[in-house]
Amino acid sequence: MTALTDLTIKQALDGLNNGDFTSVELTNVHLDAIESAKELNAFVTNTPEQALEQAKASDTKRANGEVGVLEGIPIGMKDLFCTEGVQTTASSKILEGFTPQYTSTVAQNMFDQGAVMLGKTNLDEFAMGSSNMTSAFGNVINPWKRNNDNKDIVPGGSSGGSAAGVAARIMMGATGTDTGGSIRQPASFCGITGIKPTYGRCSRWGVIAFSSSLDQPGPFARTVEDNAIMLQAMAGFDKKDSTSVNRDVPNYMSAMTGDIRGLKVGIPKEYRVDGMPEEIESLWQQGIAWMKDAGAEIVDISLPHTKYALPTYYIIAPAECSSNLARYDGVRYGMRVNDGGNLDDMYEATRAAGFGDEVKRRIMIGTYVLSAGHYDAYYNKARRVRKQIWNDFNQAYKKCDVILTPTAPSAAFAMDDDMNDPIKMYLNDVFTVPASLAGMPGISIPAGLDKDGLPLGLQILGRPFDEETVFRTAGVLEEAANFTAVPQLIVQKAA
């Protein structure tokens, strides 16, 4: 029999429905798995007691015939989503000990649909990063390793704890947020699937803000279908978020018809970047062949402003973060360092001690680009370029229905690879950032392994609010890729 931790969410829902096991059993198995995979550091806070309470309540609900979309399913919650009564840190020292008095809309939607929260997952501090190495609570380790090499590998970021946890089978699904790639890139690095929905599809209310015009919650899981189930529970209009869009949530679970005959798949020539490893280019070609075999039509498209996406993102995101993070002043939330001086001294001492280097770097960049003398030259210009990038996609979607690209320009890197250069780290977002700036949906599917045995993802982008076509295409790609490799951590445990 398949271990309960190996089941997909869909299989687990069927098993719960058939009475093969209870949510309490399913939850206990995952709590044990978490104990045995502590070295991954996937969690900032574990909530086993609450999880078992939720599981018990879910079993009772099910017995009474009340069955939500995620009824009884154990999941991880990125520690950026506020959860009433449970510490929420954004992986920053400045919020250590902060216990919200409310629950974010997305988390609440999931709880209403029966989700069981195993704990709060680790992330890059305030979701700024691509490796999970900026967390104040230690880096997360990817359950994958290179063949013949025992070096620790990064899980990607910023949602590294969620991605590593789902890959390591210590949670069945997890929440993430994607500002410039933080769902898609870690999904690619960890050999799982994750979707960034259209901006406005999932409420940002109660999600600690990084860059408000870009942040978008979304799910991770091991299959496309499980992502559809997760998103079904998470999505929806929320009047508490003024950028939430009031549109019905379609049935994502039935979107995967397996039929993409006649679908037009765009291939943007600008995504062929210098220095991209040959194996990523060939995986991309393989993806194109899979789409063709399934009856799709391949069309060449151009997204001419792609090369400006990274610099634009690294102006807009820091600008918004410098404004959003102004609230951490030692008065209202979390940490306060009082060195006996005046109020300004207290602000300075608190922020100096509370924020890590990457967060400080971005606050400084953001403050600079928003300052009176530079606002037009940087921030306003970036906003205009962003509009052009959005326009590129709109033009492209006149010729195609979805766009196929690699998710990231490399496989996951090792902790001690040369990563001290922030610019090099920023380059990792080259394929994910454009759709973020345009607010459009994108999914990453594990599609192959690199020469060292690490997973590589392919990305499918879609039109705004057309997650259904994204899921439909992803389902076909998933079947063609037939990615069955599992992380070394799982292989070792089974041995």
CB 73 within 8 A of CB 115: yes
CB 470 within 8 A of CB 442: yes
* Cα–Cα–Cα angle for 267, 235, 53, rounded to 5 degrees: 130
Min dist CB 248 to ligand GLN, Å, is: 27
Q: Which of 295, 287, 488, 228 is nearest to 407 (CA)?
A: 287
* Cα–Cα–Cα angle for 441, 444, 449, rounded to 5 degrees: 165
282 catalytic? Reply is no
Between helices 467-481 and 224-234, what is the axis angle to 10°?
160
Residue 309, CB-side half-sphere exposure with 13 Å CA sphere: 29
Who's near 333: CB < 8 A, 6+ residues apart? 94, 95, 98, 327
Residue ranges of alpha helices (H) inside 207-355 are: 224-234, 278-293, 309-324, 343-354
Binding residue for ligand GLN (CB under 6 A) from 28, 113, 158, 175? 158
182 catalytic? Reply is yes
**Looking at 180-188, 260-268, 322-330, 479-487, which segment touches ligand GLN (CB under 6 A)?**
180-188
Binding residue for ligand GLN (CB under 6 A) from 139, 182, 198, 410? 182
92 catalytic? Reply is no
SS3 at position 207: strand
Between helices 9-18 and 224-234, what is the axis angle to 10°?
80
Residue 125 binds ligand GLN, judged by CB under 6 A: no
Residue 325 binds ligand GLN, judged by CB under 6 A: no
Residue 129 binds ligand GLN, judged by CB under 6 A: yes
Task: Point out the catalytic residue in the list 91, 92, 159, 182.
Answer: 182
Task: Please tell me whether the peptide bond between 158 and the residue prior to it is cis, using omega within 30 degrees of 0.
Answer: yes
Residue 359 binds ligand GLN, judged by CB under 6 A: no
In the complex with ligand GLN, the residue whose CB is nearer, 91 or 182, is 182
Task: Point out the catalytic residue in the list 78, 120, 145, 196.
Answer: 78
Residues binding ligand GLN: number (CB under 6 A): 13
In the complex with ligand GLN, the residue whose CB is nearer, 37 or 207, is 207
In the complex with ligand GLN, the residue whose CB is nearer, 130 or 193, is 130
Residue 401 binds ligand GLN, judged by CB under 6 A: no
Residue 127 binds ligand GLN, judged by CB under 6 A: yes
Residue 130 binds ligand GLN, judged by CB under 6 A: yes
In the complex with ligand GLN, the residue whose CB is nearer, 181 or 194, is 181
Structure tokens at 275: 């220095």
Residue 225 binds ligand GLN, judged by CB under 6 A: no
Binding residue for ligand GLN (CB under 6 A) from 429, 466, 468, 478? 429
Active site residues: 78, 158, 182
Enumerate binding residues for ligand GLN (CB under 6 A). Answer: 127-130, 158, 178-182, 210, 317, 429
